[in-house]
């Protein structure tokens, strides 16, 4: 069973508020990812990290920012939430493994609703 | 952008029937992964494939890594109602940077 946790599971917040979505993993994985997903739709990569102090933007442009100060922690922040940010946010991690394959493990997701 | 083509987009089947779905790409992948996602939850890894031609089973699920390394398929035998969900394929290329996901196959099973 994957040891990757996201909090909160559900968040309803007013427009203009600053929010931070938490993601932690206890597997010692170097790579971590944030995906945005509308219900029943495909996953869009918005941020990823190769390791501590490394962050990259993903394929889908996002107004959110991320940080990676510790290996196990990869929080996502929205400085000013808007209704267009309403979506499910999924965090994932994978092992750094040269010469062999790796697998991505997902948290349960945070369902964000901005009103 | 999207590099994996997953089909079919959705399926409506009767309980007990077998199911097949596939992913294709114009690019070569070194790893193929298959996930299942229930509503409101994160995707859960079902099967991982690491070698071209590899055939791997997990209970009623069987997946294969295509010989060309550009495709993979997932079969579910004797479907049951709890198989309902969205199935995603994912590919990992040689640079290990990020995973590419298919658009998903929504499976509905009638009891």
Q: What is the DSSP letter of B77?
A: -
Q: How far is A71 from chain B (nearest CA, A)?
A: 17
Closest CA to A94 of B104, B68, B35: B35
In order along its 115 residues, chain A shows pLDDT tens digits of 568 999 999 999 999 999 999 999 998 888 899 999 998 899 999 999 989 999 999 988 889 999 999 999 999 999 999 999 999 999 999 875 544 447 889 999 999 999 9
Contacting residues of A for B65, CB less than 8 Å apart: none
Closest CA to A17 of A80, A89, A110, A83: A80
Query: Could you give the CA distance from residue B15 to residue B60 in angstroms, rounded to a whole number?
Result: 13
Distance, first Cα to last Cα, chain B: 37
Test A103 with B33 for CB contact under 8 angstroms.
yes
Query: Could you give the CA distance from residue A62 to residue A65 in angstroms, rounded to a whole number?
Result: 8
Out of B42, B50, B104, name the one closest to residue A90 (CB).
B42
Out of A39, A43, A101, name the one closest to residue B92 (CB).
A101
Test A98 with B96 for CB contact under 8 angstroms.
yes
In order along its 111 residues, chain B shows pLDDT tens digits of 457 999 999 999 999 999 999 999 999 998 999 999 998 899 999 999 999 999 999 999 999 999 999 999 999 999 999 999 999 999 988 666 678 999 999 999 999
Neighbours of B94 (CB within 10 A): 9
Neighbours of A10 (CB within 10 A): 11
CB-based contacts of A34: which residues, under 8 Å, 6+ apart? A23, A45, A46, A47, A48, A58, A64, A66, A74, A76, A89, A90, A91, A92
What pLDDT is stored for residue A102 in this prediction?
75
Residues, chain B: 111
């Amino acid at each position: 069973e994957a040891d990757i946790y996201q909090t909160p599971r559900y968040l309803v917040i007013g427009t203009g508020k600053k929010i931070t979505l938490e993601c932690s993993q206890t597997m010692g994985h170097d790579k971590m990812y944030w995906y945005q997903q509308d219900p029943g739709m495909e996953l869009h990569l918005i941020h990823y990290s190769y390791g501590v102090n490394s962050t990259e933007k993903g394929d889908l442009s996002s107004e959110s920012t991320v940080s990676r100060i510790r290996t196990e922690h990869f929080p996502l922040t929205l400085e000013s939430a808007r209704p267009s940010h309403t979506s499910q946010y999924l965090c994932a991690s994978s092992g750094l493994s040269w010469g062999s394959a790796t697998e991505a493990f997902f948290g349960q997701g945070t369902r964000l609703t901005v009103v | 952008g999207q590099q994996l083509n997953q089909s079919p987009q959705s399926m409506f089947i009767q309980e007990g029937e077998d199911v097949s779905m596939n992913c294709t790409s114009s690019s070569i992948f070194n790893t193929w992964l298959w996930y299942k996602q229930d509503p409101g939850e994160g995707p859960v890894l079902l099967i991982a494939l690491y070698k071209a031609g590899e055939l791997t089973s997990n209970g009623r699920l069987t997946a294969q890594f295509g010989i060309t390394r550009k495709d993979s398929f997932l079969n579910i035998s004797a479907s049951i109602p709890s198989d309902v969900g969205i199935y995603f394929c994912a590919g990992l290329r040689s640079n290990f940077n990020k995973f590419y996901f298919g658009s998903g196959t929504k499976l509905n099973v009638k009891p």
